[in-house]
Amino acid sequence: MKYQNIKKMVIIASYFKGETYGLLGPQMAATVIQENASCECIVVGVAREDSPAALKEALAAYFGEERAVIGFSSLSARPDLFALAGELKDEGAFTLLAGPQADVDYMGEVRYDAWPHRFKGVSDSFSLALHGPAEQATDLLKNPDRGHRQQISGLLVSNGASGVIHHPRKSWDERFLGRVNWDNIYRVEGGTFVPHRIRTGQVLQQIGCPHAARERWVEVDWPQTLARRNRQAVRILLKGCSFCDVAVDKGFYGALRLGTVLNQIRCLPKGPDGRKIPFELINENALPSLPRLLQEAAETGLRLSQITLTLRADWFLRGEHSLREALGLARAMGMRIHLGSVGFESFDNAILRNLNKGLCVETNLEAIALMRRLKEEFPDEWGYARGEGAIHGFIHPTPWDTDETRTNIQSVIENHGLAADILPDHSIPLIIHHASGLGDWIREVEAREGIRYSRLGAIIEWWQEMEEGSG
């Protein structure tokens, strides 16, 4: 079938009901597509509570007589969105999987052909998949015919019984990373798309995580539920944190030029006070360059309201001098620096080692002490606490929990008053994406023990053994 004059595209992304945040990845991709493929492109945030029937009605109204061209990105491994893509494809839409983990989720879990209970991938739900920078999609949209596809970088296409053909992706190109149209996001209301006004955005300063550049062999302990049967550790090669699928997806590319970052900030909407809306600076080691960023912003007339940071505890400590300088600048600029999240993850050293965090409990506690001191010194410019909107990383339960680890963690929480300002309202259970480092670990556990864990889409349910004969 020939595709001609693709004029419209919708990118569907996971969203939370009642929120007003922007979606940097999908919205930047839509911007790149609209500016480079002569194709109108919007983003639709879809919450779990949204009606699939209302969404389909809105899609039909948007595309009219044209064939629907629908991208799916940043899906948070939601099985309902994978299923929706399959339904739309069966109804005649062209569906494209893109964004984080697009390649591994399209292809499925390793050796699923030999192990039927493993995640089989979602190639049946999508016409194609695309892994890597958004500008690769412009070539596809300009000429989606089959004969042209072999020239498209990052493309994945199912070849039936022969498997998946996977073209190498392009490297990141900063020419496409300096602009975002923050007005291109919509929500579904009453069977139609309505513009969604955002109140917080994101600015990309670093692609990937430097911790993911550190490849090392790590011994991960056996699950405690099976420890009586088999106590060997599993030796796996890891890049970054063992649970992090981003480390596998992006690795570490590096930082963008300051000019590119400032251009992104210029694109942010203004709030009622005339300043740029608060934004998260995506860079897990942002402190060394933060003073210069603030200085350049001030000198070029960019009035900022708040920068939110997501940092590792060890890099936060190393960057204390730069942070103090940045806080002084923030005071002069009348803005805030908000530490929105630190990935503490645990307050037990054995669990931190299994997560391959590369730090210890003492480092976490030193970081917390510094966060509190800075609040005393810069009360108006600095925020870090749960009551100020921060959500710090705390993973619990994990497969390695014992009476000893629970006692250790509770002792640290009580002795250092973490419940008052650090701990989130709810901990996050350990999530094992099939393509993360821990995916290799749990598959080895399954093989040695002769057991099978359930899969919930792309997620391996380490707490749920399958019954004999199921799957």
Q: What are the boundaries of each domain within the chain? A: 8-195, 201-433
- Per-residue pLDDT tens over the stretch 244-292: 987 677 667 889 999 999 999 999 999 999 999 999 999 999 999 999 9
Q: How far is CA 68 from CA 7, 45, 64, 95, in A?
A: 10, 17, 8, 8
CA pair distance 248, 258, nearest whole angstrom: 26
- Per-residue pLDDT tens over the stretch 107-118: 999 999 999 999
CA pair distance 451, 431, nearest whole angstrom: 19
CATH number for domain 201-433, candidates 1.10.3470, 1.10.20, 2.60.120, 3.80.30: 3.80.30
Mean pLDDT of 4-16: 91
β pairing state of 336-342 and 382-383: parallel
Is a pLDDT exceeding 90 seen at residue 326? yes
226 pLDDT band, cuts 50/70/90, is confident
Work out the burial of residue 324: count CB atoms within 10 Å of its CB; fewer than 13 is exposed, 13-18 middle, 19 or more buried: middle
Percent of the chain with pLDDT over 70: 94
HSE (CB half, 13 Å, CA atoms) of 188? Answer: 26
Is a pLDDT exceeding 90 seen at residue 236? yes
CA pair distance 418, 253, nearest whole angstrom: 34
- Per-residue pLDDT tens over the stretch 432-444: 999 999 999 999 9
pLDDT of residue 29: 98
- Per-residue pLDDT tens over the stretch 373-411: 999 999 999 999 999 999 999 999 999 999 999 999 999
- Which tokens in the block code for residue 250? 């992006």
1 pLDDT band, cuts 50/70/90, is very low
Q: How many CB atoms lie within 10 A of CB 375?
A: 17
Assign 175 to helix, strand or coil.
helix
Assign 258 to helix, strand or coil.
helix
- Per-residue pLDDT tens over the stretch 441-463: 999 999 999 999 999 999 999 99
pLDDT of residue 75: 94
Q: How many CB atoms lie within 10 A of CB 59?
A: 20
What is the pLDDT of the chain when averaged over all its residues? 94
CA pair distance 130, 292, nearest whole angstrom: 36
Mean pLDDT of 202-211: 93
Q: How far is CA 234 from CA 174, 296, 303, 322, in A?
A: 40, 48, 51, 40
Is a pLDDT exceeding 70 seen at residue 147? no
Mean pLDDT of 171-199: 97
Architecture of the 8-195 domain: 3-Layer(aba) Sandwich (3.40)
Mean pLDDT of 47-59: 97
Assign 433 to helix, strand or coil.
strand
Under 8 Å between Cβ of 109 and 164: no
Q: Of residues 54 and 227, which shows the higher confidence score? A: 54
pLDDT of residue 228: 67
